[in-house]
Structure 1
Amino acid sequence: MAQGQLIFISGGVRSGKSAYAESVVRAAGSARKVYIASGQAYDEEMKKRIERHRLDRFQDGWHTIEQAYRMESVLEKLQPEDMVLWDCVTTWLANELYEGWETGNMCADQPGCMEEKWNGLQQSILAMLHTVDLLTVVSNEVLDDFVRDELYQSWLGRIHIWLVQQADQAIEMENGLAFRRK
């Protein structure tokens, strides 16, 4: 089976990681550019932001897949040779880990729930790499995120370690500058 290239880009909030990731995908080729967006509209302001970003990407030639949960659902929407940008791991993790918070029945509190989601994510990423030419994954740094929860940070660290191990390139962003770590 062919293997697509995996690029992992991490950085602090406002480090320029998303803009850099977009430039990497644009420069990679002329195939379809796909943006996997993990954000959710919890209120009217966020709904407007998501719609504005979707429109901006569309005008720039991107195909957007809104996927806040269950990355395996993305697979059927991808085409061979796609250049894919997933922004971002941290939003997906918060969505999955705290799913059910409104009912008091969070995944984080259910034995094995997050392990199942993590296994699904790993399998989804590996399957994407056998379909697309490029998968660029963006994430915030483990200790530089809005969530100051040890469980969240532990899962994010675990995901980062695996992504770096799988990646063809691992890049850390600081103040708009890219530093290749792998």
Structure 2
Amino acid sequence: MVRGKLVFITGGVRSGKSSFAEHYLMKEQVKRNVYVASGVAVDGEMKERIKRHQNDRENYPVEWATIEQPRYIEQILPYIQEGDGILWDCVTTWLANELYNNDMEKVEKALFETIEYLMHKAKVIVIVSNEVLDEPLSKYESVVLYQKWIGRIHQQLVAKADHAFEMEYGLSHQWK
């Protein structure tokens, strides 16, 4: 199969990233829409957000296959079919889940090997992430570590992406 298209979408919390990503993928005429969810319902707010995203997808004119994958993104590979459209929401949540439990060099390597594999199997991969680097560096060591890794991963994703969008107030700005 020809290399699939990689699309990166970032923006602040509640900026419209997920809705934009879902609509983007639905226009792509893929074999199957696959939603890879990294969120874990650890509190009431997160349970509500997850439910809202599920309800949104249920109201769309296409069906979505959902894979719950908060860590070890490479474990989605057996479930992906040739010609799928994949929406992964989101990198920042996944990184928070992975950050303290693994060798981050190994995690990063697995992430980009997974994306490379997906780019040769899926028709389109849409990756959503939160923009958390608009703020000054934190005084807390753990937050600085997170900022370091998310910045590094974002830069590599944008370098690989065919298109990169930033969302603000429900509006998209295409950077690439």
Sort the TM-score into its range (normalised by shorter chain). Answer: 0.7 to 0.9
CA distance 1:46–1:179, shift in 2 (3 Å) = closer
Per the normalisation by structure 1, the TM-score is 0.84
Name the aligned partner's letter for residue 25 of structure 2.
Answer: V
Aligned partner of 1:169 in structure 2 is: 163
Letter matched to residue 33 of structure 1:
N
**Within 2, Cα distance between the matches of 1:70 and 1:76?**
13
Q: Say if 1:15 and 1:43 are closer, same or farther in 2 by CA, change over 3 A.
A: closer
In structure 2, the residue matched to 1:77 is 79
What are the Cα deviations for residues 61-102 of structure 1, in whole angstroms up to 9, with x where unaligned? 111000000111011100111111000000000000033xxx
Cα RMSD for the two superposed structures: 2.0
Distance 2:21 2:33 in 1: 12
Distance 1:44 1:129 in 2: 35
1:174–1:120 distance in 2 versus 1, CA, 3 Å: same
- Offset of 1:14 from its aligned partner? 1.1
Q: Deviations over 1:78-134 (max 9, x none)?
A: 0111111000000000000033xxxxxxx4xxxxx0000000001001111111000
Name the amino acid aligned to 1:179: H
**What amino acid is the match of 1:162?**
Q
Identity %: 51
Q: 1:55 offset after TM fit, Å?
A: 5.4
Distance 1:168 1:66, change over 3 A: same
Matches of 1:30 and 1:81, distance apart in 2: 6
Q: For residues 7 and 69 of structure 1, what CA distance do their matches in structure 2 show? A: 21
Letter in 1 for 2:116: L
What are the residue-to-residue correspondences of 1:7-46 with 2, within 5 Å? 7-43=7-43, 46=46
Normalising by structure 2, what TM-score? 0.87
Which deviations, in whole Å up to 9, do the C-alpha atoms of 1:25-56 show, x marking residues without a partner? Answer: 01111521110000112246645653564455
Shift in alpha-carbon separation, 1:157–1:45, aligned structure 2, 3 A:
closer
**Corresponding pairs, count:** 169
Query: Distance between the aligned counterparts of 1:84 and 1:5, measured in 2?
Result: 10
Secondary structure of the structure 1 residue equivalent to 2:27: helix
